[in-house]
Every structure is written in C-alpha cells, then in structure tokens.
Chains A and B, each alone.
Chain A
C-alpha cells in the first residue's frame, strides 16, 4: 500500500507544490507544508476507496491542510533590490515571469478564493468543484466571477480603474 501511495503522490506532486506556492510565502514554509500534506494524505489513504479521482481526493486534503495548519507569521522580505539575481532565493525555483506574476496575484486572494480558483485552473468542472468543496455549482460560478474581477484588479490595477 505504501509503494502505491508514494507512486500516486509522485505522479501528482505538482498539485501539492502549486498549493504550497499559493498558501505560503517562504520556501521553507512551503517545504514544511508539502511534508504536512503528504503526511496527512498518508494517514487518510487507508480510507481512500477510489470512489473519486485521486486528484480530487488529494486536492481536498491538501486544501484543508493548507488552510488549517499553523503558519509562521513573519513580514515578507523582498530582497529583489538588494541582492544580485543569482543569489535571490526565488532564482533557485527557475520560474517564468508570467508564472511568478500569476502565483503572486493568487497569493493575495483569501484562503477560500485560492481553493476555488486553484480547482478551476486545474481543469475541474463546476460539478466536480461542487463535489470537492461542498458549495453548489451556482455558488461556484458566482465566486469565480468575483475572483476573476479581483485578479484583474491585482494584475492590472491601472486598467481596472478605467
């Protein structure tokens, strides 16, 4: 059972990494959250009977863990201006500028909004999102619309004022 679990997590680890990126600001906090999510999934795995997709089950546990677990409070320190690029902590993650802009914008949403938008971006339809979250499909549509406007304001603050 452990080998099967490890293989499933390895194949779907991008989901966990993405959730860690939007729910935690610092790389060390993301590592801690990744570990916490894997541990919680392992403890819950014996009850996973395959009635839903593994990715749906994984999202449910990962999002609950991200929202409920303790996060260290520290002021975000941006060293962009003071360190050479090669020494900047983010440089190690080799992310494209577009990708980092998107994730930075997503980090500014509320926890519940992050959950809903991450499910949508992953490609789940409204019915699947409703099953995972417990919201109605109509509610999800309304919230996604609000999130869309909020992201527009975050990513293009000048354009959204016009």
Chain B
C-alpha cells in the first residue's frame, strides 16, 4: 500500500485547532450541546403555547362545547407532539451501543427509523387533533371547504418534505452500512 503510506506522515502530522481542556469539559454538558439546546428551547416554547391554550380553552375556544371526540383528539395529538421531542432528546443523550463500528451504525440506523416514524405519526396526530377541534362545530360552506382543503394541503406538503428529509438521511446511513457488510 505504498502510495497510501506516503500520506501517513501528512495525516499524522496534520495541523489542527487546539481545543482547551476547559472547552472540552464544557462539551460534556447537555446544556452546551447545540442540538439539545435547540430541542430544549423548542420543548419549552411548546409547553408555554399548550399552557396558554389550556388557559384560553374555555373562554376563547369554547372548549367544553366541542364534541368529546374532538377534545380527546386534540389532547392526544398534543401529548404525542411533546412525546416526539422527548424521544429525540432521549436518543441524543443515550449512547449508541455496539462493540464495533458496524454494530453502532446498525443501532444508529434503527434509532433513525424509529424517530422518522415517530415524527410522521406524531405530527399527523397533532394536526388531525387541531383540525378536528376547530372544525367540529363549523357549518361548512364552499369557501370554508376551500380553506380547509388549503390547510390540509399545506400540512401534507410539509409532511411530504419532512418524510423526504428523513428518507434521505436513512438512505445515506443504509448505504454506509451496506459497505460494512
């Protein structure tokens, strides 16, 4: 492997940034993790929004007057929406197990598939819950049907793109894993 050996010295002696021990120590904290920080903020915003919604539930949204199925759908949808974020945090915090790189990649792929399905199911459940809640007592006319169709189309569009992004990530990891078979 003569030609590759020629690069060994360049690789091993490569200059790189020097990260201080203090900075490294900071990186062990979940609070400094860039993705966990964003998820934590997103989670708090969602909790605040849901809390505000519950406070306005009776007066502004006529909550108790809505059919039971619509109220249940909304609550279940909201819980699943929060559950999805918690799942993301859990998977980020728990280390990926595996004695070898091949096993770790397999486990990472398994987690990615669970997160992809959870994301699609939970966001669909939440959208359905919100839709059912706000449309359950509406007398629909043509204009309102058009608005409803527009909202459903927007949601399906967003869902389609979300699924595409997840599929791309999964395919990329699958291809890498295939190379380790």
Contacts and interface: CB of A to CB of B under 8 A. Distances in A.
A99 B108 CA distance: 31
A133 B28 contact: no
A110 B27 contact: no
Interface stretch (B2-10, B130-138, B147-155): B2-10
Contacts of A17: 16-17, 19
A110 B176 contact: yes
Contact of A95 (B15, B32, B104, B109): B15
Interface stretch (A74-82, A83-91, A112-120): A112-120
A96 interface: yes
Nearest to A32: B34
Contacts of B34: 32, 35-36
B8 to A, nearest CB: 5
Contact of B15 (A44, A96, A147, A151): A96
B4 A151 contact: yes
Interface residues of B, number: 46
A93 B17 contact: yes
Interface of A: 2, 5-7, 9-10, 13-14, 17-18, 21, 32, 34-36, 38-40, 42-44, 47, 60-61, 63-64, 67-68, 70, 93-96, 98-99, 102-103, 110-113, 115, 117-118, 120-123, 131-135, 143-145, 147-148, 151-152
B16 A42 contact: no
Contact of A6 (B24, B95, B96, B104): B24
Contact of A42 (B28, B100, B172): B28
Contacts of B128: none
Given A13-B19, A63-B101, A134-B103, A43 B25 contact: no
A10 B21 CA distance: 6
A99 B1 contact: no
**Top 5 A-B residue pairs of the complex, sorted by shortest distance between their CB atoms:** A134-B102, A112-B179, A134-B100, A17-B16, A68-B108
